[in-house]
A and B are shown apart, each in its own frame.
Chain A
Amino acid sequence: MDDNKDENKNDNMDDKLIIGGHEFGSRFILGSGKYSLSLIEAAIKDAGAEMITLAVRRANTDKKESILDYIPKGVTLLPNTSGARTADEAVRIARLARELGCGDFVKIEIMRDSKYLLPDNNETIKATELLAKEGFVVMPYMYPDLYAARSLVDAGAACVMPLAAPIGSNKGLCTKEFIGILVDEIDLPVIVDAGIGRPSEACEAMEMGAAAIMANTALATAGNLTLMARAFKAAIEAGRNAYLAGLGRVLTRGASASDPLIGFLRD
C-alpha cells in the first residue's frame, strides 16, 4: 500500500500506540527509577503519560508511602521486575504484581550487574516466554540485539524495549544504529527505554520510527520538572509527526540538478 494512503499514518488523531491490544494516546511512558509525587504529577499532567512504571519491590510495602497511592485512576500501571537476577525471579515478581492488583502488564527487567544495571537478554527471553504463556502483556527491557529481539517476538512479547544508553545516564541515543535496525526488522512496537536525556534525543528516536519513549531521570533531574515534562511531550509528538510525514531527503553531497540528468532520453 502507498504510505500516503495509509489512514493510520495520515490522520494523526487516530495515531494510537497499541500494546498487547490496548490503545494509548500518549507515546511517553514514565520510568520508575526516581519517584516522587511531583514527578508523577508532572508526567501525567504535563508530559501526558498514560502509562507509569512501578517497581514492584517498592510497591511491596505495608505503610506510609506506597507509589500505588500516587497513581490516579485511568493511568495504566506497568509493574517492573527490577531486582530480578534470573528469569525465575522475574516470573515470581510478575506474579506478585498481579496479586497486588497491578493488572496484566509487566515490564521485564533482569539485571545481573549491580554496577551498570544492563539487561540480560538471555534470561529476559526465557521470562518473556513463561509470562506470555500466563497471559501477561510482556514488555521486555533489552540490550538492542537483533537476534534477541527476534527471539522476544517468538517468545510472545508485546513490544521490545531497547536501551539507548546506560540507565539513568542521560547520555542519549548511544545505540542509535542498532535501535534503527530493530525498527526496520521487528514488527512489534519498539519503545526506547533508558538513557534518553534530552527532548531532542526523544524526538530523534521518534523520527526514526520508535513507537514510544520511556524516561525518568531526564525529568527527575531537570531544573524545572514541569517545563521539562512539557518539552518531552512536544518533542515526542514532533518526532512522531515527522516519522508519519516521512522525512524530507538529505543530500549527501553537492546540489540537486534542477534538470534531470536523464532528460535527454527520447524513447
Chain B
Amino acid sequence: MEKRFEIENKRLGEKALELKKRLENDPSARTDPMEYMPGMERINSDIMSKVKSGMDEFDPLSYSAKDVKAALERQNCTINDFMALLSPAAEPFLEQMAERASRETSKHFGNTVYLFTPLYIANYCENYCVYCGFNCYNDIKRMKLGIEQIEKEMQVIARSGMEEILILTGESRAMSDVKYIGEACKLARKYFRMVGLEIYPVNTDEYRYLHECGADYVTVFQETYDINMYGELHLLGHKRVWPYRFDAQERALMGGMRGVAFSALLGLADFRKDALATGLHAYYIQRKYPHAEISLSCPRLRPIINNDKIDPHDVHERQLCQILCAYRIFLPFAGITVSSRESASFRNGIVKIAATKISAGVSTGIGDHENKYEGTHLDDTGDEQFEINDNRSLKKMYDDIGDEGLQPVLNDYLYV
C-alpha cells in the first residue's frame, strides 16, 4: 500500500524506531484490530452487524439520476434513498439536495446556530495512528495541563462569553486517566452550561462516572468504518481495537450520557462508504435509544505538525457538501457540527444548509488560550493536533452569524 502519511522522527531511540518501521512495513507485527484488549468491556450489541451489512450492500456506482430524484421527492428518506444521495449520481443534484436539506434544517432547528469551543487539556498519546499530529511517534511538544492550569484556561474561555465547552485529550489512559478527566469535567461545570467530551473510549461505568462529574455529551470519531483500512492506519495502541471504539457511543448512553456524536474522518478510506456507515451508526443508535440526542461531525483530513502534505484526498468541498446534505435529509433531527478544519466561507455557507453547530475561538494546542484570547505571551504550551483553517474568535463568529440572518445560540441546554 502506498504510504500517504508516515513520517520520520530522528529523535526516536533505536528500539522505538525499529518497532515503528516494523509496524509500518510488516502486517504480521500488528495485532488483530477486531481483537479486544484486556479490560475492554464487551456489550454484544447488534448495531455493528447492521452497519456492516449496510456498508456491504452499498454500491455507490449502482445508483442513477432517477434514484436520486426519487429520493429527493420522498417525504421520509429511506436507507436506500440515503445511499442514492451519497452516490456519484447525486453530484449533479447538489443544488436540489441543498434546498431540501435547508428546508429540513429550518423545520427542525429554525435559524439557530449553536456555538462551542474545544479545550485540549493534554496531548499525550499511546497510539500510532499515522495521520494524526498527536501520534506517539510524532516529534511534538507534549503537555498535560495541571488542574490549576485547566481552571485558568476555562476562566479565559468563559470570559469570552462561551457557554459550551468540549474537553479533549490525546488518547493516553496513563497520562490522562479517567479521574483526571473527571476533575476537568467538575471544573467545567463551574464555568459552562454544557460540557462535552472527546476522549479515548472507556467502559460504561467510566462513562457513568464522567457523567456524574458533569459531562453530558460524548463524541467519538470512528475515523474509518473500513476495518481493513482502519488496521492499516492505526498500527499500535488501544485505539487499534475497532469494535471497542465502535460501541463507545452505546456505552456512553448506557452510562447515562444524554447525547452522542458520530464521525468518520473523511479522506482516510472510501468517503462515500464512510459517510453511509456514519449515518447508519447514528440511525441505529437512535432507533435503539430513542431519547438520545444524536449528532454528526464531518471532518476532513488536515495537515499536521511535521507533515504538511496531508490533505483530504478526493473529498473536495462539493463532496463534503453532498455528504452533509445527505446526512441532513436522512437524519433531519440530528445536530451537525462543522469544525474549524473548514474555511470561514465554507462554514458561513453550510450553516444555511445543514450545519447546526460550529466551533469558534478554536485552538487545538495545549494551554494556549491565554496567548490566543488575551495576547498574554506564554512559552509553555503544547503542540497542536492539526492545523485549523477558520480561526475566528467567538465575537467575530457571533457577529458573522447574525450578519447572515441567523441566530447565534450559546446555550440550549439544561442539566436535569
Chain A residues with a Cβ under 8 A of chain B: 33-36, 55-58, 60-65, 83-85, 88-89, 92-93, 96, 111-115, 117, 168-169, 217, 220-221
Contacts and interface: CB of A to CB of B under 8 A. Distances in A.
B107 A84 contact: no
Given A96-B414, A114-B292, 18 more contacts: A34-B111, A35-B110, A36-B110, A58-B411, A58-B412, A60-B193, A60-B413, A61-B193, A61-B410, A61-B411, A63-B163, A64-B161, A65-B408, A83-B413, A83-B416, A92-B416, A115-B286, A168-B107
Contacts of B190: none
A112 B414 contact: no
B416 A33 contact: no
A51 B411 CA distance: 23
Please classify the interface of chain B as helix (H, G, I), strand (E, B), loop, or mixed, using the class held by over half of its residues: loop
A168 B110 CA distance: 9
B107 A35 contact: no
A57 B292 CA distance: 17
6 contacts: A57-B413, A62-B163, A63-B161, A83-B414, A112-B290, A112-B291
B294 interface: yes
A113 B290 contact: yes
Contacts of A96: 414
Given A36-B407, A65-B408, A85 B291 contact: yes
A238 to B, nearest CB: 27
A56 B193 CA distance: 13
A221 B411 contact: no
B293 interface: yes
Interface string B218-249: 00000000000000000000000000000000
Nearest to A83: B414
Contacts of A169: 107
Nearest to A33: B110
Which residue, of A55, A114, A169, has the highest number of chain B Cβ atoms within 10 A?
A: A114
Contacts of B203: none
Given A33-B110, A34-B111, A35-B407, A57 B414 contact: yes
Contacts of A111: 291
B409 interface: yes
Nearest to B291: A112
Contacts of A83: 413-414, 416
Contacts of A84: 416
Contact of B407 (A33, A65, A217): A65
A114 B261 CA distance: 14
Contact of A113 (B108, B112, B291, B416): B291
A28 to B, nearest CB: 19
A60 B416 CA distance: 12
A65 B406 CA distance: 13
Contacts of A55: 412
B348 interface: no
A1 B109 CA distance: 48
B163 A61 contact: yes
B333 interface: yes
**Which 6 residue pairs spanning A and B have beta carbons closest together?**
A34-B110, A89-B416, A57-B414, A112-B291, A113-B290, A61-B411
B414 A56 contact: yes
Contacts of A36: 110-111, 407
B414 A60 contact: yes
A63 B292 CA distance: 28
A92 B414 CA distance: 10
B106 interface: yes
B290 A115 contact: yes
B284 to A, nearest CB: 12
Given A60-B193, A61-B193, A168 B108 contact: yes
A220 to B, nearest CB: 6
B63 interface: no
A65 B409 contact: yes
Contacts of B407: 35-36, 65
B398 interface: yes
A114 B293 contact: yes
Interface in B283-305: 286, 290-294
A102 B108 CA distance: 26
A95 B413 CA distance: 16
B334 to A, nearest CB: 8
A89 B216 CA distance: 15
A115 B333 CA distance: 6
Contacts of A61: 163, 193, 410-411
Contacts of A85: 291
Contacts of A115: 286, 290, 333
Contacts of B109: 34
A84 B163 CA distance: 20
A86 to B, nearest CB: 8
B111 A217 contact: no
Contacts of B193: 60-62
B395 to A, nearest CB: 10
Nearest to B394: A64
Which residue, of B293, B398, B407, has the highest number of chain A Cβ atoms within 10 A?
A: B407
A224 B286 CA distance: 36
B106 A57 contact: no
B290 A220 contact: no
Interface in B384-407: 398, 407
Nearest to B402: A65
Contact of A114 (B286, B409, B411): B286
A102 to B, nearest CB: 13
Contacts of B411: 57-58, 60-61
Interface in B84-123: 106-112
Which residue, of B161, B293, B412, has the highest number of chain A Cβ atoms within 10 A?
A: B412
A101 to B, nearest CB: 16
A92 B107 CA distance: 28
A221 B107 contact: yes
Which residue, of A56, A64, A65, A117, has the highest number of chain B Cβ atoms within 10 A?
A: A64
